[in-house]
Amino acid sequence: MKKKTEDFDFEAFSREAIERLKAGDSMIGSEGIFTPLLKRLIEAAMEGEMDDHMEQTRKPSKNRRNGHGAKNLKSPFGGFEISAPRDRNGSFEPQIVAKRQRSITKDIDSKILSLYSRGMSYNDIHEHLGELYGINISESAMSSITDRIIPEIKDWQSRPLESVYPVIWLDAIHFKVREEGQVRTRAVYSLLGVTCDGIKEVLGLHIGEHESSRYWRSVLYELKERGVKDIMIACIDNLSGFGDAIEDIFPRTEVQLCLVHQMRNSMKYISDKDLKPMVADLKKVYKADNIEAGKHYLEEAQEKWGAKYSAVFRSWNNNWERLTCFYKYPPALRRLIYTTNPIESYHRMVRKTTKTKGAFVSEKAVIKQIYLAILNAQTKWKGTIFGWAEIRRELDTYYGERFYQNDTVN
């Protein structure tokens, strides 16, 4: 076997490779052009390592060669079998391909993680790698590879945060999870913030049985434990008790209810024939120049529609203070906070990678998938958010020292 490796004719291989390239053969995969070369190079390197090992162990331990053993390897060029040298006393520890090593590069693992992060199932990844590289990787092996990011996720979930966030958006996204033979709905709690430098950042990722203000309270306490001392504006939907929980834990925080959510909730009560004109009247409320004009438009709409849709206007009036918080601020900041659109946009990015999943096999699988989606999202969020220079000036005007003196906040 050693002689076969040494007799490898590189010039002949080069000529053959050129002819195969001209014929349109693939360079990678189990039948790829470079697979034989990689196989020969590894076998030659292992023979050289064995020669060195024999020189060191032949005399003191009377060691000697003991034939060869077959070993299957995975590589970016394809899967292939090598003939690995063995010694009599089993002390040979090759470096180029370790005894229990089955892949000669981390590139395969990174490809699996990359494909998984884009929403491909293990079965799809298995077929993809088989077609592209001639590699046969089981679902259990792929699960083990993706499980390697669990410690990284735990570190990320507990990392220290900024002391001050000018704006955060909080919302939940729901997934189906198989549990004890049943499919159950789980709420994933998302927190998206903007730093004082205008950088979007996913602050946390938590999973619970269903969305509740009680669970949100525990999430907010964790933010404090991770170093958050002040949040200027929190943008949320109208989950019962949610705003109170924020104000209890961060007393100086202004709570802005999402006006898009308010409109959606209102539309549930409106009949089809009244939908278009009534929605047009309600839109005037939050498109007004100031809170006084907004109140005037709400009263006009209530006078026109209130007798028929009392539940709609009861909700607007009960939530008026938090719905109109944005009127306190100049235009650029208003546009940033009057809806939860930024976190909904982030959720759409997550949904792109999870839409092929009917139900996840476990909560851990949900967390892995979303964490990888977050990493992909953050590569697209390079730089500050749009219009940050103007927004920052408005924050400075409104909050002054509170915006800049982060480390002095109690």
Examine the pLDDT at 134 and tell me if it is beyond 70: no
**Do residues 81 and 216 share a domain?**
no
- The larger pLDDT score, comparing residue 59 to residue 174, is at 174
Residues 125 and 253 both lie in one domain: no
Within this chain, do residues 142 and 226 fall inside the same structural domain, yes or no?
no
Predicted local distance difference test score (pLDDT) of residue 166? 94
Q: What is the pLDDT of residues 96-114, one digit of tens each?
A: 677 777 776 555 666 677 7
Domains held by the chain: number: 3
Least confident of 44-53, 56-65, 258-267: 44-53
3-class secondary structure for 335-375?
A: HHHCCCHHHHHHHHHHHHHHCCCCCECCHHHHHHHHHHHHH
- CA dist., res. 394 & res. 329, Å (int): 8
Q: Is there a domain that residue 202 lies in?
A: yes
Specify the pLDDT at position 20.
63
13 and 138 within one domain: no
Q: Is residue 158 part of a domain?
A: no
Q: Contact at 8 Å (CB) between 143 and 114?
A: no
Q: Are 357 and 224 within one domain?
A: yes
Is a pLDDT exceeding 50 seen at residue 2?
no
Which residue range is the domain that position 112 belongs to? Answer: 106-148
Whether residue 302 is found in the same domain as residue 387: yes
HEC profile of 107-143: HHHHHHHHHHHCCCCHHHHHHHHHHHHCCCCCHHHHH
Q: Do 201 and 287 fall within a single domain?
A: yes
Do 194 and 216 fall into the same domain?
Answer: yes
In a domain, 91, yes or no: yes
- CA pair distance 247, 259, nearest whole angstrom: 19
Q: Percentage helix, strand, coil, to 5, in the chain?
A: 55, 15, 30
The closest of 268, 265, 259 to 322, measured between CA atoms, is 259
pLDDT at 159 (0 to 100)? 93
Own/partner pairs for 285-293, CB < 8 Å, 24+ apart?
285/316, 286/259, 286/323, 286/324, 286/326, 286/338, 290/327, 291/324, 291/327
d(CA 8, CA 59): 31
For residue 299, the model assigns a pLDDT of 96
Cα–Cα distance between 381 and 200 in angstroms, integer? 7
Domain assignment of residue 156, yes or no: no
H/E stretch holding 94 = none
